[in-house]
């Protein structure tokens, strides 16, 4: 499933043709994706200007002039394709044939910018929902999400407080969207590796002993927490710059592949030598909480 960097890459690709443009016509070519479309889905979109295009965790959020917000999730295989009617060739060095399979073009936004924005989803695990802006904070899909890992409020102290009394592993805590929003398996593995922290380490070790006691606000973050936050920032920013990671389905809106998979230091490198200078360890893989975890047992403690 696309993680934060992939969704942010898509947002940046859609922004030039959607933000500030009017939805001349919206098409829902079937009654549902993962969930049924609202009965007034198309009616609430037609004629509306997109005043802003944002992201919350793994969700895209299009603000409409009406005061509604169009929430969009890519699911497992969803992707957006931008077709400019002045140049019908889909731009991008890497063309993905699945994007041109019209049978899976389920939603189309015809924009006043002259572009058509097509949502293609073969597996139909993606979904879209229109929510009133004033009701957004109470929306079940968004309520309870933790801080954005690239936001100003996410720092070592906040992460330590969130993990202070947790009895789960550090990796499980980072995958919990209530602790931090938008992280997934790939980038958690990469961040833990760069911070030299074991995925099996207890999450509570990110806080001082005082922070682990009940009734204490959280105490001071340990050096582990500071290293981890720095690694999370570095991995996400590098991945966004590379256009995300393309393993199966992710493509940018231009049709191009993401390139961050070529920069993996530990993910999907089972049996290879650890890239940490002077380590000499071998990358291992094991199943943790139903997900593959890649790590170096020698340098990740």
Give the active site residue among 44, 56, 58, 194.
58
CA distances from 104 to 6, 27, 90, 119, 265 (A): 20, 13, 17, 8, 34
Known active-site residue 3: yes
93 is catalytic: no
- On whether the CB atoms of residues 172 and 192 are closer than 8 A, the answer is no
Q: Any catalytic annotation for residue 58?
A: yes
Residues 256 and 152: beta-carbon distance below 8 Å: no
Catalytic residue among 25, 291, 297, 298: 291
Residue 223 CB burial class (10 angstroms; 0-12, 13-18, ≥19): exposed
Q: Which of 3, 6, 19, 256 is catalytic?
A: 3
Active site residue 124: no
Cβ neighbours of residue 265 closer than 8 Å, sequence gap 6 or more: 190, 193, 194, 275
- Choose the catalytic residue: 2, 5, 147, 221: 2
Tell which phi-psi region holds residue 253, choosing left (phi > 0), alpha (psi between -120 and 50) or beta.
Answer: alpha
Q: Which residues, 6 or more positions from 131, have their beta carbon under 8 angstroms from its beta carbon?
A: 68, 69, 71, 139
Catalytic residue list: 2-3, 58, 291
């Amino acid at each position: 499933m696309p993680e934060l960097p992939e969704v942010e890459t898509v947002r940046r690709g859609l922004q030039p043709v959607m933000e500030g443009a009017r939805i001349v016509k919206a098409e829902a070519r079937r009654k549902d994706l993962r969930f049924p479309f609202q009965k007034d889905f198309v009616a609430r979109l037609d004629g509306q200007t997109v005043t802003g295009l944002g992201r919350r965790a793994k969700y895209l959020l299009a603000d409409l002039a009406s005061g509604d917000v169009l929430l969009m999730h890519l699911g497992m295989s969803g992707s957006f394709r931008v077709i400019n009617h002045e140049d019908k060739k889909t731009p991008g060095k890497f063309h993905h044939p699945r994007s041109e399979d019209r049978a899976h073009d389920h939603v189309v936004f015809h924009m006043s910018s002259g572009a058509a924005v097509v949502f293609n989803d073969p597996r139909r695990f993606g979904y879209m929902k229109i929510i009133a802006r004033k009701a957004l904070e109470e929306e079940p899909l968004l309520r309870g999400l933790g801080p954005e890992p690239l936001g100003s409020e996410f720092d070592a102290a906040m992460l330590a407080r969130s993990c202070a009394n947790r009895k789960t592993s550090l990796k499980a805590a980072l995958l919990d969207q209530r602790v931090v929003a938008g992280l997934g398996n790939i980038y958690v593995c990469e961040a833990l590796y760069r911070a030299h922290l074991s995925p099996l380490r207890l999450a509570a070790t990110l806080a001082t002993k005082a922070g682990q006691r009940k009734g204490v606000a959280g105490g001071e973050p340990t050096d582990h927490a500071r290293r981890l936050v720095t690694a999370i920032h570095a991995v996400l920013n590098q991945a966004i710059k590379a256009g995300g990671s393309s393993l199966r389905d992710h493509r940018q809106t231009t049709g191009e592949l993401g390139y961050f998979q070529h920069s993996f230091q530990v993910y999907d490198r089972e049996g290879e030598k650890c890239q940490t200078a002077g380590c000499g360890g071998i990358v291992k893989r094991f199943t943790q909480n139903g997900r593959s975890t890649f790590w170096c047992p020698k340098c990740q403690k």
